[in-house]
Structure 1
Amino acid sequence: MKILKFALSCVLTVGLLAACGTSEENKEKQGTGGEAPQEKVTLVMGTSADYPPYEFIDTAVSDDIIGFDVDIAMYIAEKLGFELKIQDMDFNGLIPALQNNRVDFVLAGMTPRPDRLENADFSDIYYVAEQMIVFKADSGINSLEDLAGKKLGVQLGSIQVDLAKEIAEEFEGVQIEERNKITDLVQELKANRIDAAIIEDKVAEGHLNANADLAAFIIEEEGEVGSAIAFPKGSELRDQFNEVLREMVENGEMEKLIIKWFRQG
């Protein structure tokens, strides 16, 4: 009997110790709040980092992608409790990346034009800009009529492609030249391989300030053409992002970012 009592005592003691050990492990996992801390879900943002001040790399400072769109994405991700990873790629590869689930959303100064709406869902418009014709100052180009018979450059896959086609339909002999990056267009202009390029105003301003030999004028368009965030079809993120975008407008955060990236200096 003594042997049996001793054996049962050992079993109970081991059981209690094991229970205590489990409890301590749970406390460590749960933290002070009593619940296990959950790792943040990482969202992958697709962008084309050649579009200052929306998204670009200031190589003189670091290799990080910065800009207006990046600040918007960081604000939204923090507000919704997500980690953010930014993936750089050519602009014309952004919508395919959404469709192939390589990215969770696209923030790249993208306009929700009809063909894109067929392949992606878009947020509310978060910024409205104008388009400019950029050219060499000594080229003799002063109006859209002067583009007749000229080579007009645009970024591949951009809304400017459609605008260039409209110009080509109106003025005889306009040849459309597409390039992957805005910086490619500027280099082509300076090398006289194209005569003009269509670039969004805030993006063009940076290149105009850096290149005294370039000039530009605004293209008069009907209606507003703005930028929105793109998501895979049916993504639940769209409504969540829209809620934060509206909040940013209401609390003045969006205006702060606009002043920071578009109106400073």
Structure 2
Amino acid sequence: MNMIRKISIVTLSLILLTGCGSSIKNTHDDNKLTVGMECNYAPFNWSTTTPDEYTEQISTVDYCDGYDVTIAKKLAKSLGMEVEIVKYDWDNLIPGLMQNEIDVVIAGMTATEDRKEVVDFTDPYYTSQEVVIVRKDSTLTSITDIQELKGKTVKGQLNTLYDTIIDQINGVKHGTAMESYPSLVNDLLNKGCDAITAELPVAEGIVASNPDLKYVTFKEGHGFTADTSVSIAVKKDNTELLDKLQQALNAISEEERQQMMLEAVERQPAVNE
């Protein structure tokens, strides 16, 4: 879910040396849970100009909605806190957390070994599966094994697991990664590639709003090998907050989590440019 993404320690170090490029000041309010996310990764998180019961304001004109926002609001309420959503570029989320600009990252992030070296994580709050999205008029709509993508151009999101897993396909043409899913969708529709990788909830939303596309799942044992769980990141050794968040997460049943995702998929906007 992955919106499930990867940033290298080398890249992270360079970002920390140069700063996050954010205008957010290093302040902390004990009554407020400050949450970082992209607000550009539906159905986990996306931007909108229309406020409603699901959204949280992120600027004078924009609001953020999505599964991650719903999770953040439930956790904050459980902790007796208000929630504040802060929009970041993907690569700036962990540096922002490490520099105390935000309290947590709830952004479809997988707890990889590299990330565990610099931040701590809760248990997963959602688990998905990897799929690919293709054009509906493509011969690829009926494939059941990732190796059937041999010789095809496949693209993923920059600095994410969904770019690196492409190399599991023997003989694939690994296309240049792109910064966002709207860009990937647009590229696929315009035949810049044959397929794009995604996690299932993201793919469901993309296909729902783009009738010319279809997502493809694979037979057991014939798909991608990767961790598809997503967890909440907190600053290293902030055990007090980590424990409180974990207790609050434990109180949300699996049935409720699935229902929240279903509702997010149903109300998300079209994922294209």
Same fold (TM over 0.5): yes
Matched positions, count? 222
Structure 1 distance, partners of 2:108, 2:65, is 13
Partner of 1:218: 217
Call closer, same or farther: CA 1:60–1:194 in 2, change over 3 Å. farther
Which stretch of structure 1 is more off in the superposition, 121-130 or 43-52?
43-52
User: After the TM superposition, which parts of structure 1 deviate over 4 Å for at least 4 consecutive aligned residues?
Assistant: 59-62, 221-224
TM-score in terms of structure 2 length? 0.73
Aligned 8 A contact 1:92 1:156 in 2: no
Q: Which of 54, 76, 88 is 2:44 aligned to?
A: 54
The superposition leaves residues 171-221 of structure 1 with CA deviations (integer Å, 9 ceiling, x where unpaired) of 114214211111111011112222211011111111111112112212435
Which structure: larger Rg? 1
| 1:133 is the counterpart of 2:132 | yes
Partner of 1:159: 161
Partner of 2:75: 76
Partner of 1:32: none
Structure 2 distance, partners of 1:119, 1:184, is 30
SS in 2 for 1:216: strand
Q: Give the share of equivalent positions with the same residue, in percent.
A: 30
Which stretch of structure 1 is more off in the superposition, 197-206 or 54-63?
54-63
* 1:106-255 alignment, distance < 5 Å: 106-141=105-140, 142-143=142-143, 144-167=146-169, 171-219=170-218, 220-221=223-224, 225-235=228-238, 236-249=240-253, 253-255=256-258
Partner of 1:260: 263
One-letter amino acid matched to 1:161: D
Partner of 1:24: none
What residue ranges of structure 2 are gaps of 5+ in the alignment? Answer: 1-28, 53-61, 268-273
Aligned 8 A contact 1:151 1:177 in 2: no
Structure 2 distance, partners of 1:222, 1:166, is 8
Partner of 1:103: 102
The superposition leaves residues 49-72 of structure 1 with CA deviations (integer Å, 9 ceiling, x where unpaired) of 122221112446673111111111
Structure 2 distance, partners of 1:197, 1:214, is 11
One-letter amino acid matched to 1:124: D
Q: Alignment RMSD, CA only?
A: 2.4
TM-score in terms of structure 1 length? 0.75
Deviation of 1:259 after TM superposition, in Å, equals 4.6
